[in-house]
Amino acid sequence: MEDNLVIVESPAKAKTIKKFLGKNYLVKSSYGHIRDLEKKNYGIDISNDYQPKYVIPENKKEVVKELKELAKKAKVVWLATDEDREGEAIAWHLYKVLDLTSEKTRRIVFHEITQEAIRKAIENPRAIDMNLVKAQQARRILDRLVGFELSPVLWKKIKPSLSAGRVQSAALRLIVEREREIMNFTPTSSFSLTADFTDGNSEFKADLSQKLDEKKEALKVLEHAKNAEFHVDEVNKKPSKRNPAPPFTTSTLQQEASRKLGFSVARTMSLAQRLYEAGKITYMRTDSVSLSNAAIGSAKKIIQKKFGEKYLKTRQYQTKSKGAQEAHEAIRPTYMNNMEVSGSEAERKLYNLIWKRTIASQMSSADFEKTTIKINISNDPHQFVAKGEVLIFDGFLKVYMESTDEEKEEESKGLLPEVKRGQKLSYKIIKAIERFTHHPPRYTEASLVKKLEELGIGRPSTYAPIISTVQERGYVVKEDRYGTPRNYREIVLEKSAIKEETRTEMAGAEKGKLFPNDIGMLVNDFLKEHFKEVINYNFTANVEEEFDQIAEGFLKWSEMIDKFYQPFHEKVEETLEKSGRNTGERILGTDPKTGRQVAVKIGPYGPMVQLGTREEEEKPKFASLQKGQHIETITLEEALKLFDLPRKLGTYEGNEVIVSTGRYGPYIKHNSKNVSLKREDDPFKIDLDRAIQLIEEKRERDRKKTIKSFSEDKNLVILKGRFGPYISYKDGNYPIPKKKEAEKLTLEECYELINNKKVKDKQKQSSRKQTSGKTASKGKGSKKQSTGKGRTNKVSTQKKGSQSTKKGTQGKGKQKSQSKKTNSSSGNKGSK
């Protein structure tokens, strides 16, 4: 038996660390957290300083049992979890659950998994930092209180199965407010004039220095330009520099991977985690932009060898982030001389991005020469301006150039001819093109992370969960949307003749943008009305700062929670008692054919139009809104059109072909089978030929993925799936165990697998109902707040069974007064 037991969070990390340790070390994984708050009564003793009640989940009991046995046999237990708050909390939970003692326990941390880093960590063990543990615990408890109290309010007042959280709701507010800006935006048009000039030898482009509001103004300039003379008024040349971006932090890595590689924020973090655990990059959750001296030295050697001395300019970047996390270095390769690494294609791409960004940060600036030529029009106050930019020395651009989220019109910047002041020019063609103002851009995942960071909302460990949660809850959808045709006018002056044309462009196309759904907008409005503090940006950022203060030992965590919870709980009670149900209903008018009321609202399956009321003798009719339609903006005419569905298109193979719409969007119904329409198909315009094409395409796809079918029951088929073979039958899909051969299954065996799955699902449902129960705990009374100014010490692992938090001596076990607090600055937490 090995004398040393090393415990980390993941098997991948364990495998990498094992390579650097001797035979006397056994490395095991805890598979993440081994304890969590129990579900009953929030898992928090509210009346006892918010003390958490932890339980070991069922799926972790075997892991804990094994680790306990190994810990008893080991002479020394090394807790080698990550160095951030989450990792510190895992280490503390392991210490408590495994009944470890300070004599045989060592806490070690490192921000990269290399032999040197592991060696240094083992030589310099430290105590568990209880301030970090308390900060993590405070976040977890605040999350639980907000989630468990606020979500049921949404269930009762809006719709079941909704959720709200402190950071999640603030992020939703950003997306909803941007969407409303866009809804209320009215584009205005103006004319941009661009000319192709020649000096007799070469041609170049120049733009009129100002946009013209009216067509008549553009025509006036063009008419005058027919016979005008053009002279160079001014030539300005000046050098400029462009500096490299600093090495990656968590947020900038997420942003660049989104822009350059098209990765979602969650995927980027998953890939970065794998690269870190494989020892290929440093720790991936960090606010720091600094590099170690050793890393800078390695980068220096590579730049000198690969590009030459003139490309080298070492820099030490300073971290400006207020609440910088505990990790001490930017994200960089662990071995700078490895330009490439093994792994999946996505891992290799992300690693390559990190390598290039790190190397570029230590390279020379790029040198440019910017040239501006101003051109006069005789007897006209307007001027044309040509701008050129010439790269003199590429510097860091030889390796890497940072992307942006800016949605700007393309500017032509290139080499301009050598011209002199007063020199005469002639035009080849001048175009006046109608251009429209753009609405504010919708958020991408990358630009939302940037905005969250700017506002101080969330931390490196929470950006990905925030963005994933608002999408998983159905509040926000990330998708591409086609533009709509828009006419614009183009007036061209060529060879002294003016001609005007109307052209068409696609306007409003979106790629990978975040769109709020109606339910997301309704939830946001409800929270804004009843829980302003919960979605207040400043409050959410202040809570993050308070977590930082707890981590530094300047603030007592239970007092911070109490300050938030007391007014928040009162508001929850008040809202449950006094506010009405909110479905976002909007009366659009009356149907001219029937005289019945037409309304739009949130229904059981999403936004819908209702024709008629429940008070009438005739039952109301319902129709789902189409993609891109909103409760706030749909018109009466658009709403009534929805009742044109279902629509009969004709017959095919003796069966009717019907286009309809449902919970998952528009579809074709034929011979008891449904075929989804594609994004480009309009259910109100699709014809029979297109419907048949879609039916046949679906059949071909089904043929390719069908493993087996049964003549005795045509509703049951065995299909190939993304995660292996499965049974498709009437009301759902049923997985086939790996030990079963799908091709050899009989019909009876399929029925048995279906029934077994249904029984298991019922048992799970029943179990959930038994454990959920109503949470009866009410908020405890308000407490006198202490300043929490003095810095507390790090609590070591020296005392066996020491608690994570000590109960305050003031008023221990006593019921506090129920007086209301007037200084309520409550807030809201995003579920992780």
What 8-state DSSP symbol labels residue 166?
H
Dihedral pair phi/psi, residue 176, rounded to 5°:
-65, -45
Closest among 564, 542, 530 to 142, alpha carbons compared: 564
Cβ(443)–Cβ(255) below 8 Å:
no
Q: Which helix (H) or strand (E) holds 502?
A: strand 497-507
Instruction: Name the residue type at position 629.
Output: Q
Cβ(817)–Cβ(781) below 8 Å:
yes
Cβ(46)–Cβ(779) below 8 Å:
yes
Q: Is 4 helix (H, G, I), strand (E, B) or coil?
A: strand
Q: Is 332 left (phi over 0), alpha (psi -120 to 50) or beta?
A: beta
C-alpha to C-alpha distances, 415 to 204, 205, 368, nearest whole angstrom: 9, 11, 11
Cβ(143)–Cβ(827) below 8 Å:
no
For residue 806 the two structure tokens come to: 């000590």
The alpha helices in 369-500, defined as continuous H runs, are 445-455, 463-472
In angstroms, the CA 359 to CA 336 distance is 8
In angstroms, the CA 623 to CA 578 distance is 31
Q: Is 598 helix (H, G, I), strand (E, B) or coil?
A: strand
For residue 574 the two structure tokens come to: 């008040």
How open is the CA angle 63-68-69, to the nearest 5 degrees? 105
Burial class (CB in 10 A: 0-12, 13-18, 19+), 102: middle
**Prior bond to 646 cis, omega within 30?**
yes
Instruction: Name the residue type at position 796.
Output: S
CB atoms within 10 A of CB 242: 15
In angstroms, the CA 806 to CA 822 distance is 28
Instruction: Name the residue type at position 505.
Output: E
Q: What b/e string do you get for 764-781 counting C-beta neighbours within 10 Å, with b at 16 or more? A: eeeeeeeeeeeeeeebbb
Q: How crowded is the C-beta side of 807, counted as CA atoms within 13 Å?
A: 14
Dihedral pair phi/psi, residue 718, rounded to 5°:
-105, 125
Q: Computed from CA positions of residues 317, 318, 320, 322, in that sequence, does the dihedral angle turn out positive or negative? A: positive
Dihedral pair phi/psi, residue 64, rounded to 5°:
-60, -45
In angstroms, the CA 32 to CA 656 distance is 54
Sheet harboring 665-670: ordered strands across? Answer: 647-652, 655-662, 665-670, 673-676
* Residues ≥6 apart with Cβ < 8 Å to 184: none
CB atoms within 10 A of CB 665: 13
> Token match 């690693």: residue?
351
For the annotated catalytic residues, the residue numbers are: 283
DSSP for 694-742, please give it.
HHHHHHHHHHHHEEEE-TT-TTEEEE--TTS-EEEETTEEEE--TTS-G
Burial class (CB in 10 A: 0-12, 13-18, 19+), 61: exposed
